[in-house]
Copies of this chain bind each other. A is one copy, B any other.
Amino acid sequence: MNPTKAKLMLAVTDLLKEDGIAGLSARAIAARAEVNQALVFYHFGTVMDLVDQACRAATDEAAASYRDELAEVTSLSELLELGRGLHERERAAGNITVMAQLLAGAQRDKTLAETARYALGRWNDEVEAAVARALEGSPVESVVDAPGLSRAISSAFIGLLMYDGVDRPGAESAFASLEQLGALVEVIEDLGPAARLVLRARLKGRG
């Protein structure tokens, strides 16, 4: 990989984390990378193509870095614990912030929408596998499916980190509540077989 290309791609995600998609421009990116502005177009053709490649690469890297950790998850309790740590780290790392800004920009730009879909999918590949394992043998297995739950977790993280950007205490209390509801599910998970049957019967009677 050409060092200038690498510098430009890194500058994109840095700026996305700090300033968001709104103020992103070829000149801002080049300045951040300490590189001549014309090189953006020499190496990537258009600004959007640079953003696309930078975000895909960053997503691949981020997903891979969480891969081993997610691979060890075998229960909802472990998933919940991992979520707590991930939330803290993501505040500093900003991978989810990049995704949130991608989603915000996707409304306008179709190229960006495609990039966002890729990032969402890539991220989900890792999360869904862990969720599926955590759900296995759990009494809530018959209630929720792994594809849906993993996407719910992802979107909740995205919403939470955006909320965090303007109201940190509020986001903190929101996350605490979600954790407590998660603990509730854990309690159910630890229920005896008799209680499980009662629960399953009651849930059957609903939507």
A117 touches B166 (CB 8 A): yes
A183/B143 in contact, CB under 8 A: yes
Most buried by B among A22, A124, A149, A187: A22
Q: Are A148 and B174 in contact (CB-based, < 8 A)?
A: yes
The number of times this chain is found in the oligomer is 2
- In the complex, the answer to whether A113 meets B166 with C-beta atoms within 8 Å is yes
Task: Return chain B residues, CB-CB under 8 Å to A159.
Answer: 154-160, 162
A93 to nearest B CB, angstroms?
Answer: 15
Q: Kindly list chain B residues whose C-beta atoms are within 8 Å of the C-beta of A20.
A: 104-108
Judging by beta carbons under 8 Å apart, are B170 and A162 in contact?
no
Q: A151-B163, A167-B120, A190-B202 are in contact. Are A180 and B104 (CB under 8 A)?
A: no
Chain B residue numbers with a CB within 8 Å of A181 are 140, 143-144, 149, 181, 185
Interface of A is mostly: helix
Q: Could you say which of A20, A185, A188 has the most chain B C-beta atoms within 10 Å of its C-beta?
A: A20
- Is the CB of A35 closer than 8 A to any CB of chain B? no
Q: How far is the CA of A160 from the CA of B206 in the complex (A)?
A: 24
Interface status of A3 (Cβ within 8 A of chain B): no
Instruction: Name A173's contact: one of B19, B148, B178 (CB within 8 Å).
Output: B148
A144 and B177 form a contact (CB under 8 A): yes
Q: How many residues does chain A have at the interface if contact means C-beta atoms less than 8 Å apart?
A: 65
Contact A108 B23 (CB under 8 A): yes
CB-CB under 8 A for A103 and B163, given A108-B20, A183-B206, A202-B190:
yes
In the complex, which residue of chain B has the Cβ closest to the Cβ of A187? B202
Let me know if A105 and B22 touch, CB within 8 A. Answer: yes
Cβ-neighbour of A104 out of B100, B116, B124, B151 (below 8 A): B100
The 10 closest A-B pairs by CB, nearest first: A159-B159, A148-B177, A104-B104, A20-B107, A151-B174, A155-B159, A148-B173, A152-B174, A158-B159, A155-B163
